[in-house]
Every structure is written in structure tokens, then in C-alpha cells.
Structure 1
Amino acid sequence: MKRSSRPVKPNSKYFNKCGTSPEDPKRKCERSGCTATVPICFARVSDRCTGSGWTSRWYHLTLGEHYCNECFEYYYRSHKDGYKEYDQWKREWSAKARTEAGISPFMVEQILPYWVQCKAVGCGKWRQLSRDLNLTPEFIDTFVCGRPSVQGQIKKEKQDGCSIPEDERVHYVRSPLWLVQNKCTPFLKKSPAAPFLTSYYADGVGLSPTEDPVELSKEDKKKLCPYVVPFLKGDYPLHAFTVMPDMMLDMEIDSFPLIAQECPYLYLAMRNLILALWALNPKEWVTQEKCMRHIICRGLPRVSCIDILPQILSALTYHNFINQGLVTPPASLRCHTQESVIVVGAGASGVGAAHLLHSHGVQVTVLEAKSMLGGRVNDIEINGAVISTSGQLLNGCANNPIAIIAFQAGIDIEEQKNTCQLVNQHGQLVDDKIDRRMEFHYNAILDIVSEWRKNKTIQQDVPLIQKVKEFHEEFVTETQGYFSQGLFSQEEEQVMDFYLSNLEYSCGCSLSQLSSLHWDQNEEMPQFGGSTMTIPQGYGSILSKLAEGLDVRYSCQVTDINYNGSSVIVNTTTGSFTADKVIVTLPLSVLKSHSVTFHPHLPQAKLKAINSLGVGHVEKVILQFDENFWSEKITGQRLFGQVPASESQRGLFNTFYPSSCTKSGKHTLSTYIVGHGLKQMAGQSEEQIVQACMQVLKTIFPEKNIPAPVWSHVTNWSKDKYVGIAYSYIPVGAEGVNYDLIADNIEEKVYFAGEATNRQFPQTVTGAYLSGVREARKIIDLFS
């Protein structure tokens, strides 16, 4: 049918007559809530484009961005000149994206103009660029008003480009309706996040689907830290500080509820970019400026992204997803305040808190009762080998801040093989099939306990060992008819005791003391993934790095803390200290002993929580030899374990951790005493305990003439008045919420940190460190 060349007559009912004449009719955007009474077509591709005039329909993208029906048809109608370009894009989009290829996403990804912010001092105005210009990080870094590439800007002699008013459409971005009215997903181009997200649909994670795949350069690969794993891979469970690139976490939804409801992909695009930049170089603070140059997307959503950037950076930093460890914050984030903080205790939590406060410009003093750094972390050098008298394992290296600090400081950490060769009391290797069978049975019993405890009240709590034995015996009874010689042999029952001994070591107490309802409550929250690691130089090397530049007062025992006035007064054996805030990182056992008094007294809820948690005890036995007598029998294994001959032997030297020092040629075995084993060794001298441990080794290696150790050491943490604990545990009748109650601050003056305040990561050096960082961030927020 032949089309008339006569212009379409506008219907008067669509006129916006306010301030216009019938000869110059206007039509407002019909989207509910859109305030644009005189929309302007940004596309300007059709020769019949109406500009800001009348059109039969306006297509809404944002409050400040619309395109007219004429430009829509220019691409949508197959007989129009623009259809070929749209069709080619549509094919590419459909092959790579999960959302439908329509005109609106085409306009967002291909036609919307770029906006860029002036870098001139004192300006900061946003300018719209010409459509034919591609945005690059270098252009963003150097752009100033007055460039010919700025659309609609006429360069006049002696005219300052920065004096030209900012486009009024930019102000729409700051409107309360902006997010509600925004239909644009920012498809980031040339994003550093792209190489990390190749297994996801690009449009689902805030990236441009039509961009060519980006590979990391050799230089970028050199900077990568193997312990920074920001994005979930495959079907693995969600680990600590890992995100799903195409979904917001609960924490993120709580922090940004409106964005989560209206524009989640805007947030995902920004968050994924930030995490990728941190992964690419965890030795530098991820700053706003570093992120801005990589935010390359079309339209006013780029303005919105930059506006929301500081809040997202702050939230990810506060929740320890980025900017961890030894990185130095920019000057803009330093606290310009004369307020001061005292940190009580120079363990992992105290040093972690003090380091962060100090790096942000806060005056901080650390008071330590002992004559050395570390608290429960104590490393000694014997015959050229660094030996830890406390914990030596890093459980899960992925996103673990201790592993990241080691990377930042150039401290080597090594993978600890989790395979353990079991040996029975006759010196015979336990068959791997028996080991695997009993490990499966042990885990199955714990799974049954987990099912049993559902919907149970705290009044129904019983010791974990009671339920383990009950379900174990029930399983044996119910399956007796299927086996002619019984279900489990004596050796298999002993292997079961070995696994129960390992559980006692992990919890720091006998299973007869442990809550069956809440003993593993932290497993309900994401834990660290990746391999178990050891730190050959010891945890002390990490804490020493964190303590560099700190004001630490050693042999300064705190006696009481008075927070009754506007300031906090901390009295010690060497004098008094005054500050605006105090962070108390005392071990749980010291808090229980009331050796440090508080004025006023601590709230009853906090005291109850302190008394509710259990004080776990684990002692370490270390033996150093001139020769490695075990590797011939324990081939290809890093660990070996003795299967206890009876339940009474459970907890006595059940697992041995070997290590060798190339420099000195010495070989070391470390083992532990836990649970009932501690009662058996109570009152015995160090020499007697070493002899008992040597007897176990002779049982494991009867074929060897085992020499006496050239050096030995037995810890006595439970008798150390400044420590008195290995780590906390949840006894019968207690709950995980007690960790949170101990962590609660008092009047924003007295803060508490330590592993017994970290519900997600209790019983670990990492958990202690993170608790200190948590409290320091709270204070920094207040000072800022």
C-alpha cells in the first residue's frame, strides 16, 4: 500500500499545552511516575526524529532518557535503514545473553550516548559525549570540559568550558524516583571482571554480551593472589567472602534494599567490578578512582553507578570482601580526629584492630600483659627451625585474610595434606578401606545427630557423645542380622575412637561437655574454602607485620577499666591510660576470672554469655629429632595417627604433624593432648609427658630404634594466667548467640573482640583477627 507523504496529524488529546502553542504540540512520557513532561529523543537516528516534539509514543529508559517512535521504527521495521544493524546485533545478543533481544536493550547497549565527568579541579560536571565516540579508561582519566567531543558544546574564544551549566538531565539521577523509573541495565564494556565471569551469562552479571572475550595479560596474571577467590565456581557451596556473580547476598540486600528491588543488575555490575579489581591486585586498596575509570557503560546509568560507588565500596570493605590486611587506605579515608583508642591485648584480635585503626590515622595504644607479641600465638626458633607452640594450621585458604596478609608480606605458606595414615597399637598400618568405611560411618552419625536436633529446644540439649553413642549402638543393633561376624571389628571401633578424638581436638573439650544442639553452629554460615595450609614461619610472622609502627606497651597488665565518664580510663600495673574508646581482646578465660574489673559492672546479659561459653583446653607436645625415622613407613603422607587402644586413650597423642627444616636438618613432630587425655596427664612433669609420647611412637614404629629427641617442649596454656585457654566451645545448654552477646559494645565506648566474640569463625586465629577488624571498623565509622 502506498504511503501518503503528508505528515501525520497529531491528536490534540496528547498535547501538553502548558507553555506551548497548538502549532508546537508536545507529548509527555506516559510511563506512570515519569516526570518528563517534554522528553528529548537521545537516538536522533531517523530523519523523521521528533527531537523534543510530538510523537505517537515515547519509549522510556530512564527519567532523562527517552526515544521517539520514529527512531524505534527506524530500527524495528525491516524496510528501514537501521534494521540491518539491529538484526545483526540481535543475532549476536541472542547467542550470548539470557534475556530477550529487544529494541530497548539494543538502545541501551549500542545507541545511548556516553557521559563523562570533568576532572578539572572544582568542576566535576557531567557532559554528554558525541555518539561516535568510544569511552576508554584513559579518556575518563583526562577528560575536561571544553573538548570538541562534548555534544552541544560550542568552543568559543576565551570561554571556560567548565562555566557551561551541567545538563539538567543529570539532576534526574539524584531524584528519589530515579531507581524506580530506571529501566536500564548498565552493560559494562571492557570490564576487568569479564575474565572471571566467562561461565556466566554476561547480561546477568552486568557485562556487555556483545563484547569480545577479555583475557588477562601476563602482568595481570603475575599480580593475582591464589588465595583471593571472589566468585563462586561451579556447584561448590558458597564459601566465606565469596559471592554469586548473578545474585545479591542477604547482607547486600539488607544494605541496599531499594537497589535490590528496582535495579539489582546495576549493583551486580558494580560489585563484580570491584571484587575483580581486588582479585587482580590485593596489594593495593581498591579506591573510588580506580573503579571509576573502568565503569564504561552508556547513558545516565553511568552517572548513577559513580554516585552509588562509594557506598558499595564502603559496604564491601566493612564486610571484609575487599581491602583486607596490609593495604594502606587513601588519604581521603583517614580519620581527621584527635580521638584515641586503647586496645587491651596484643594477640591476633588486638593487633588486627590496632593495625586498622592506625592505618586510618587514629591514635591507638596497645596494652599487653606479657613481654611479647601474640597472646595465644607463640613461635620460637630452635636449632634454626621456627616452631609454633600454639596453632599451626590455617583451615581454608580461599579469601582467608591471614593467607592474603601472607601474600601481601611475601610470607610463604604451604599446603597441608589432609591425608592421615593410621597405625594400630601393634604398629600395623590400618587398611585404607577400614579407614574410609569408618570415616563415612562417623560422618553419617553426625548427620543423624543433625537431623535429630531439628526443632529441639535448649532444654532438650544433651552431651554430643551421648547421642553419638546412642545412634552408633542403634545402627549396630539394627544391622546385626546382616553380618555373621558382627558389624564392626575391634579395630574399626578403635578407628571410630580416633575420629572422635579429632573432633575433641577441633572443639577443645571432651565430647561429654559439648552441646549436641549447637556445637557446630558456625557451620550454618559460610566458612573458608580451599586447602588447609601451614605457615612455616609461624603465625607470629603475620602478627609482627601487622604490628609494625604500632605503640605496644609490653608487661603492662590491665587491672580495671572505668567507662563511667566521657572518656575511658584503663588502669594497669604500670600506670593509667585515658582514651575515647577501648577495645577489650581478653581471652574468655580471663573474662571469666574477673581479674579485670569494669566500672560500672558489665551488663548482666554479657556476663551470662561469658559464663555460658566453655573454656577449651588443648596442650601441644613438640619433639625435635636429628633424623626422620617415620618417612620410610609413612610413605607419601604428611600426617600419621595412632588408633587408640581403648576409649580411655582417646585424646592422647592421636595425631602427629611432621615438619622438617632444610636449613638446620632437624625434623619435628607435633601432637596434642585433649579431652580425657588432659586428665590423665594432669600433675605429670614435662619429662613424664614426653616419655609417654615417646612410648606411643615406639608402639607405632616397633621396627625402629627411635632416638631420644634433641629438644622437646610441652605447652601449659591452661595454667598461663594471661591466657588460660586454647579456644572456646559451646557446652551443653549454651547457644551460638552467646558469641554475639559477648561482642556487643557498651555505650559505644567499650568494645569486645577475640575468637570468643566471632560467631562465624570461632576457635581460630583468623576468627580472632577478624573480630578485631570488626570492632575497629565500627570505631572508624564513628570517627568518620
Structure 2
Amino acid sequence: MDGAPSPRRAAPPPCACERCAKAPPPPPPPPRCFARAAAACAAAAGAPPAARWHHVSALEHFCQLCVDHYGRAAGRAALAAQQSHGRCSARGVVLRLHLPLWVQCARAECRKWRPLDWAARAGGVAEEWHCGMAELPDGGAHATRRRLGHCAVKESEEARLDEPPEDAAGAVPCLVGDAHVDEMYAAVHQAGLPWHALTDQEVALLAGTPLSRRPLRALGVRNLLIWLWSRAAPSGWCGPPAAACRAIAAAGLQRVWSCAALPLVYRCLERAGRINFGIPSRLTLRFPAAARERASVVVVGAGIGGLCAAQQLRRLGHRVVVLEAQARAGGRVLSADLGGVRVELGAMIIVGTEGNPLMTLAKQAGSELHVLDRSNCPLYDMSGVLDRQTDVKVEALFNKMMERAAEQRNSRRGPHEKAGISRGGRWEPEVGAAVISTKKRKRVRAEAEAAEVKEEVREEEEEKEEKEEGAAVRRPRVTWVACDKCGRWRQLGMLGKGKPPDSFLCEQNPDPRFARCSDPQELSDDEIDRQLGLLPPDDAAEERAAPPSGGARDLPPVCGKSLHEVLVKMLARLKLSPVERRAMHWHLANLEYGCASSLDKVSLSWWDQDDAFGIEGDHVVITDGYQKLIDGLARYSEVLLERCVTLIEHGPQGVRVHTKGGGEGIAADAVLVTVPLGVLKAKAIKWAPPLPEWKRSAIDRLGFGPIEKDVILLFQSAFWDESADFFGVMLPDSVEPEAYAAARGEFFLFWNMQRSHGVPALICISSGLFADKTWRQHSYKGVVNKALASLKRTFGPQVLAKFRKSVVSDWGRNPYARGSYSYVGLHSSGRDYDELAAPVGTRVFFAGEHTNGQHPATATGAFISGLREAQRIDAAARVGFERVDR
């Protein structure tokens, strides 16, 4: 057809003589214009002499003569016709009318590529397009006579050419029409992926393939597939690569090259769990090409992570059996019946909606969602709702305390600033940012210095504290400032009540000994902390003691200090009224709820190491229960209930998993262990040979909390404010201040099920020392009475009059959970999550929320870990388990 790219003849083989070897390479052939709209261009067969050229791709160009053609009388009518459909320049008309759309014949015996012009594709391209549906040119470039095409016609040589090398500065190919560009961009953002770059994981998956040298092509195809998956996710199936090729709207050879790259990118995204995951309407298996690549896998634990991995491995064609110790699937997902009402004793919330794979599952399951209003949480005191002014003041002080703690901790990490941040369960180059950036650190410092806690009050409190401790000499009021360039701390002397500078460089230091970034720091970080009173003097020996190292692994240093130690000192310096102090302890109880433990067990260094990876968006409640997601994931999996695993034998040749009363056990190629961290800590599963020291040390270091969704109370009708999703109850004034830390977590938070579920019920939450120790000393009836007593102090005797039924959770005493979720302990860091995720040998793998340091303590983290390990096991199976991708 007119305007089709002309065939390029292969260059003759070069001469092997020495003279030819030293000769410069021949110049590339001159470009040819694919449009040939102007008479002069057509007369020159698309190669007008001395023409100005416009670049489309390495093999596609058009000349300025054809652009000028549509600005003159001969082409002005065509330009006006195209502009009637929207804004369009003369260059745009050339591309729209003359750049061919390449279409591949759908018949298996043909599969040739054919170019279609504007007129042929105006009505759309049929899904089962074949050569007989096209008009092909009969003759040379100037032929005007046409005949119907058929599969026997030779394919254009241009369509078979490999894609030329990429320009590193080129643009990301956009393979959809203008109407869908914004939609595609939103889909990629929702998936948590960068639009302009491949992730480290994607680069690793494409290594060794032709696309490793064409990242822009892979990126354009990846963005297209993510968009198609976002539209197809409710069905659980993104159509095959052939269907995805039909969605490519780009004209020219870009469509040919993208369709050639699409199957490879499709398989990589499927293995990585980026597409085709979740709850399918039907399970489509992808059997490996070689029989030896099909593995048998035993998954221990039928929680959301184990079921996700099992289904993903089944999709990839592997044989999987799931062993669950309990009489039900779901792990820490548990629904109960309370007077005919379905309530959740375990997971209930999806934390963040943007790019959260659990949102995909919820859509696939048809779940009902309720968006939580986290901005409205009234606090109740003995006399009623805490007044707004006090509430806002205390919350602001609490936030500034947390910012001060983060600033003091993060800015002193130095070269270890990122060392304790989880890498998401993979031992690969670090990604992500510091928990608090330099820019934010400056802002935090300025805010902290302008805090409502005045300097005079703080000095008075310090003097009082020193007198009580018998201090003979008052600490000097020195100021330490970190260099914005090198991060080293410099002493600026006594500024008194002056404000430290917003920015500082070593060159500004008046002391010439420490006026360059190359000069060492005058004191160590610990000595500076002790001088500022952040560390007591008698703790020097403990600070110098080496923390557990995790065997041969290169783990970050930890100070062994708790978050409690810093916050309690800050709290002691605040002059608060009794009501304000009780309100502050309510916020500390809420912090303990988020940390899954009392603050004296939580690492100061790395307690919030996962903040940089938080999922954005609303928090939502699945009102009809997480169990719908569990049932959907288990639909196509072989789940054996009441099979308590007691022993796992593993070696280079395979594994054998033994269950209680199970005889010889189950032999398999690999085992994936997804039991909660509490079960691993209790050593309920024996190993032969034993787990290596680095794995056992990580299990011991990482914390596992007892935070409970303790009691759910059902009433005849609601007697509380139904407009808020939750409300807090402060400590009574009868509690002595010395007992605040131990008592503040006693049923401090109540979730309003009337607003979310339409049921007059409250979920009563406890945390901290009460959940860890005191709660265990009471019977279930005693715990219910304590929850009712907390409500009675606030709402009066109507609480008991309207009370109907209750149900109590007890994850701490459940032998198959032994707690709620993980946290970073005193001698731990975010890298311990990666230690727990690392395989042992080439046959033993681990998943669960405690193996996902970027999203710990969430069902989302457990689900993502299942996708991660399914990919890892599949990759190991494809190389015969000779090595494992870490």
C-alpha cells in the first residue's frame, strides 16, 4: 500500500581482511518518508533529496514536504476534516493518516503482520482479523490498483525487523489512545509502581531476556498491562497476551515491537503477582514447559498469606497442599456469631486503599466496605466528652513529642540511617527513603523549638530533676547542630534561650578544629545523648555492649533502648493539668495499640521503620467479614484441616512434613511455612536439621504482641454517639499517677459497630501492660465485667441495663497463634523481618506478616508475602532448586 515502510535489504557480510577491519563503518542508509503525501516526495519514492526529517522511530520518518502539503491548498481540506475531530496540527495529520497500523493475522498457519491505512482501520479492527480482510497494494510504491490480501502474500520485511537499540533519553511509549492516558497513569499509580521506571524487582525478572536491553519498551508494555488488569481485576483474570495486543492503539512499528515484547512482560508480571492474582471466577493454570519445572509444595498454615501463595503456585502450574492445624481456614481471620450478628475477632480493616491488593480481593469477592472517619475520635472523661481545646492541645503536644523522639533518633544514625529499614523480604540493593528526610528534619526541628512547652519551664523541670537525683554539677546548656551536608554533629556552645539555626554547615562552625566536613565528630553520638540528658550516665556500659548480630548476617546496630525511656522523660518535663496528663496517657495507650506491645519493649531505633512504605488512602472495614476473602482464596486449593505440623525434615533433595498422628509424613520438593511468629517463638515445630543460628536469632529478637480485640459487647440499643466510628475512654481520676502506665491500656478504645455494621455493638480494645499481663490474670467473665465497668463510668447505669451478650477473643492463649502481630523489639530492627523472610537452604521458605517489614502487622503484609514467596518458589523450581533468589 502507499506509505508502507519499504523493505530494507540485508547488508552484505563484511570482508575479513585487515584493511576492511580498520575501515570506518558504512554510513546508515538515508531515511525514507512513509507518508509520501506531497507530489515531490512520492516522485522520489519517499526519499526526497535534502529533505528535513521528522523522527518517529529508528525505522520510521516523514519529511517536511509532506507536512507542508497539508498547509497548502492540496491538503487543506484533509487538515480541516481532521481538525473537526479535535485539535490537530499538520504533523499530527501526517501521523494520523499515513503512519500505518500494523495488525497480525489471527490464523495460526499465517501470523503475518499487515499494514492498514487510515481508511482501512477507521471502522475498527476485528478481534479475529485475518489477511483476507485487508486490501494490500499490488505492485510498487506508486501502484493505484489494489486486490484483496490473503495469507499467501509475502509479509513485509519491515515488520519482521528486530527493534533497534533504544535511546536512553527516549520517552516512555504510551500504547493507548489519548482518551485513556489519564486512566492508565492512575492505574499505574494505584498499583504503587513508578510510571517512568521499572522497579528493581522487574529489572531482575527481565535480566537475561532481550528486554533487559530495552527497558523503555518493557516499561510501556508493563504500564499497558497494569491498566488492563485494573479494568479486569473484578473477574480475577487479565486476558491472554493476544487480547492485550489488540488493546494497543499505537500505530507504526511500535505496535509490532510492543506485541513482540508483551508475552514476556505478561509472564513476568504474572509471576510477580502484579496481575492475575486474587479470587478468580475460574482458575486458569499455567503449566511449566518442562515437567521438571513443576514442583510439589507443602504450605504450612491456611492464613491469608498461605492461601495466597498456594493459589498463586497453582496458577503457575505447581502441585500444592495446605496443612492447617485448626478446624478452619483463615489463621488470624476469625468471624463469630453474636446474637445473630456476624462479628470479627481478628482482621477487620484494610489499611490504605491505593494500590492495596486486598482492595482487589474485596472487589472480586463483592465485599461491602465502610470507610472509617479517622479524624473524629472523641475522648470521654468522667464528666463527659473532653473539651475541644484540651483535646487539640494534648494531641499537638503528643505529636511534637513523637517528632522530637524521631528527630533525636534518626539524625544520629549517621551511616546506619537506612540499615535497619526492611527491604521487603529480599536481600537486594536498598530501596526507599530514610524515615525522616533532611528537609523534614529541619522543619521538625523548627516546630520543636517553637513548641508550647516553654524553655523556662523545661529548665525548671531539669533543675528539679537534677536535685532529686543528687546531681552535684548542673549540665551545661550546650547546643548541638547537625551539618546538613555530612550529618556530623557540632557543638555551638551555650545559646541560652536562643533558637538553633534552621540550616548549618561545618564551615559555619566558629571552632576551627571542627570547621570542615572531613573533621571527625567531637564526641560520639552516645556521649552527645548523655550530655543532653537523653541517656543516663550509668548506662554507658550497656550502650557499648554489642547487640545480637544474627550470626553471619550484616545487621544494623541497635541501642537496646526503648521508646518508653525517651517519651517518659519528655512527659516528665511537661506541666500538665491532671486531665491533660490522663489524656496524654490515652494517646500513649493508642501508640501501644499500634505497636502491639507496651512501649518498654519497643525499639527506640527502629520502631517506625516501616513508615516510609505506608499505603496511602482511606482505611476501610469489610462489614461482611474477611472470611469471604478467605473462602475465595481457598476455593481452588487443597486445604487439609486439623493437620498440626510437628516436624519438618529438609535437605538438598527435598522435604518431608510430619503432622501429629500423620505417619510417615508428606514428601515434597519444597515447604512454605506461614505460621505466626508466636508459634515459631514457642518452637512448636521441630526441624531436622535445626534452623541455622541466624534464623533462630531473628525469631528471638523480633517481638510478637498480645494486643487484643478483647471483647465485643452487644446491646439492646446504642447509648453512645453514633456519628463517630470510634471513641476513647480516659483513665478515671481515682488512678494514681504512678499507675498510669500500667492501667492506661485497659479498654481505652471502643469501635462503634452501629455506624459501620448497623448493629448496636462495641468492640473493646486493650493494649500495653494491661493486655500483656493484667488481662491474662482474669477469667473471660472478669474481662467482660471490666469492659462494662469502663463504659459504666462514662455512660452510667444504662450500660448494664441494655447489655445483652458478649464474645471474647484470646489470641495470646491460642496455641496456633500465641499473639496478635509482630513489632520491632528492643534488640531488633526492620532487617529482622528480612531475616525471617530469607529461605533456609533451597527448599524451605517463609511467609506471613512477620516476614514483610514494609507492611508488618497487617493482612496486606501477609498477602504480599504470599505473592513474594510464590514467585521465589516458582523461580527456584525452574532451575531445579539448585539456587534460590534472595
TM-score range, shorter chain: 0.7 to 0.9
Change (3 A) 1:581 1:392: same
Change (3 A) 1:47 1:329: farther
Q: CA deviation at 1:512?
A: 1.0
Matches within 5 A, 1:58-77: 59=53, 61-67=56-62, 71-76=63-68
Correspondence for 1:506: 594
Compute the TM-score of the two structures, normalised by the length of structure 1: 0.79
Change (3 A) 1:572 1:410: same
Report the AA paired with residue 563 of structure 2: L
Kept in 1: contact 2:325–2:816 (CA 8 A): yes
Instruction: Say which of 386, 389, 394 aligns to 2:350.
Output: 394
Instruction: Say which of 4, 27, 45 aligns to 1:51.
Output: 45
Instruction: Say which of 363, 371, 384 aligns to 2:319.
Output: 363
Instruction: Say which of 401, 404, 411 aligns to 1:448.
Output: 404
Q: CA deviation at 1:767?
A: 1.3
Change (3 A) 1:111 1:692: same
Correspondence for 2:645: 558
Report the AA paired with residue 728 of structure 2: G
Compute the TM-score of the two structures, normalised by the length of structure 2: 0.70
Q: CA deviation at 1:727?
A: 0.5
Correspondence for 1:273: 224
Matches of 1:403 and 1:427 in 2, distance apart?
41
Report the AA paired with residue 444 of structure 1: K
Matches within 5 A, 1:137-536: 138-151=124-137, 161-172=150-161, 174-175=162-163, 177-180=164-167, 186=173, 188=175, 190=177, 193-194=180-181, 196=183, 230=187, 232=189, 241-243=191-193, 245=195, 269-284=220-235, 285-287=237-239, 288-327=241-280, 331=284, 333-335=286-288, 337=291, 339-454=295-410, 455-456=412-413, 458-460=557-559, 462-473=561-572, 476=574, 486=575, 488-525=576-613, 527-536=614-623
Q: Comparing 119-128 with 700-709, which one deviates more in the overlay?
A: 700-709
Change (3 A) 1:51 1:685: same
Report the AA paired with residue 121 of structure 1: A
Q: CA deviation at 1:295?
A: 0.6
Matches of 1:688 and 1:620 in 2, distance apart?
16
Kept in 2: contact 1:64–1:170 (CA 8 A): no
Matches within 5 A, 1:662-673: 667-673=760-766
Confirm whether residue 684 of structure 1 aligns to residue 778 of structure 2: yes
Correspondence for 1:603: 692
Matches of 2:375 and 2:48 in 1, distance apart?
75
Q: Secondary structure at the match of 1:162?
A: coil
Count, aligned residues:
693
Kept in 2: contact 1:622–1:668 (CA 8 A): no
The RMSD of aligned alpha carbons is: 3.9
Change (3 A) 1:382 1:581: same
Q: Secondary structure at the match of 1:677?
A: helix
Report the AA paired with residue 615 of structure 1: F
Matches of 1:111 and 1:263 in 2, distance apart?
27
Confirm whether residue 594 of structure 1 aligns to residue 683 of structure 2: yes
Q: Secondary structure at the match of 1:133?
A: helix
Q: CA deviation at 1:76?
A: 4.3
Change (3 A) 1:35 1:756: farther
Kept in 1: contact 2:342–2:624 (CA 8 A): yes
Matches of 1:146 and 1:58 in 2, distance apart?
37
Kept in 2: contact 1:614–1:730 (CA 8 A): yes
Q: Secondary structure at the match of 1:282?
A: helix
Q: Secondary structure at the match of 1:453?
A: helix
Matches of 2:779 and 2:669 in 1, distance apart?
46
Q: CA deviation at 1:726?
A: 0.6
Report the AA paired with residue 567 of structure 2: V
Change (3 A) 1:346 1:74: closer
Matches of 1:183 and 1:687 in 2, distance apart?
69
User: Sequence identity, in percent?
Assistant: 26
Q: CA deviation at 1:654?
A: 0.3
Matches of 1:535 and 1:660 in 2, distance apart?
14
Matches of 1:508 and 1:358 in 2, distance apart?
34
Structure 2 unmatched ranges of 5 or more: 1-8, 13-23, 417-556, 733-739, 879-886
Correspondence for 1:226: none
Matches of 2:722 and 2:285 in 1, distance apart?
56
Kept in 2: contact 1:191–1:273 (CA 8 A): no
Structure 1 unmatched ranges of 5 or more: 1-15, 20-31, 198-204, 206-228, 233-239, 477-485
Q: CA deviation at 1:84?
A: 5.1
Report the AA paired with residue 806 of structure 2: S
Change (3 A) 1:90 1:253: farther
Q: Deviations over 1:692-746 (max 9, x none)?
A: 2221111111263523743323332222222112111001231111111211223
Kept in 2: contact 1:619–1:715 (CA 8 A): yes
Change (3 A) 1:382 1:34: farther
Q: CA deviation at 1:119?
A: 0.6
Kept in 2: contact 1:592–1:610 (CA 8 A): yes
Matches within 5 A, 1:630-709: 630-631=719-720, 634-645=721-732, 646-660=740-754, 667-678=760-771, 679-702=773-796, 704=798, 706-707=800-801, 709=803
Change (3 A) 1:509 1:301: same
Matches of 1:254 and 1:191 in 2, distance apart?
31
Kept in 2: contact 1:561–1:597 (CA 8 A): yes
Correspondence for 1:7: none
Matches of 1:116 and 1:152 in 2, distance apart?
19
